[in-house]
Amino acid sequence: MNEDKHSGRTAGIVVTHGKLADELVRTAELIIGAQEELYAVSGADLCDEHVIDRIRGIISRRGNANAIVFIDYFGGSCCINSVRAVEGEKGIKVISGVNLPVLLAFATKRGTMPFEEMVDHIIRRGRESVKVIDL
């Protein structure tokens, strides 16, 4: 049987500056309900090594499931620390530019499509959510 192990449970780790990760996860759960394996990691008041250790701790508990690390912006310390934490791991993607539509797409689509297809969908949803509203 050629089952795509990546279409099953996928962990999500939101890594941001300040308390943004906590608030994004909390807000997503207010909208769609409590989520298993969706973690918030804040870079506030932590040195780089502690952030890396937290991410690695979550990754180590995932077993053979995939994971997506969502970061607030490309090139910042959260990005650098996330990449360092998952370097060499299989089945993990790091996506920059996390926003609420991205997290909602992740939470509602994980387990419903193959991993790579889900990643493409999440990125597309994030891009589509940025709009100018002409009045």
pTM above threshold 0.85: yes
CA distance 19 to 24: 9
Segment (H or E) for 36: none
As a residue count, the chain comes to: 135
CATH among 3.40.50.10860, 3.40.50.150, 3.40.50.510, 3.40.630.40 for 5-128 = 3.40.50.510
DSSP 65: -
pLDDT for 6 beyond 70: no
CB burial of 68-90 (b: ≥16 within 10 Å; e: otherwise) equals bbbbbeeebebbebbeebbeeee
Instruction: For residue 83, name the pLDDT band (cuts at 50, 70, 90).
Output: very high
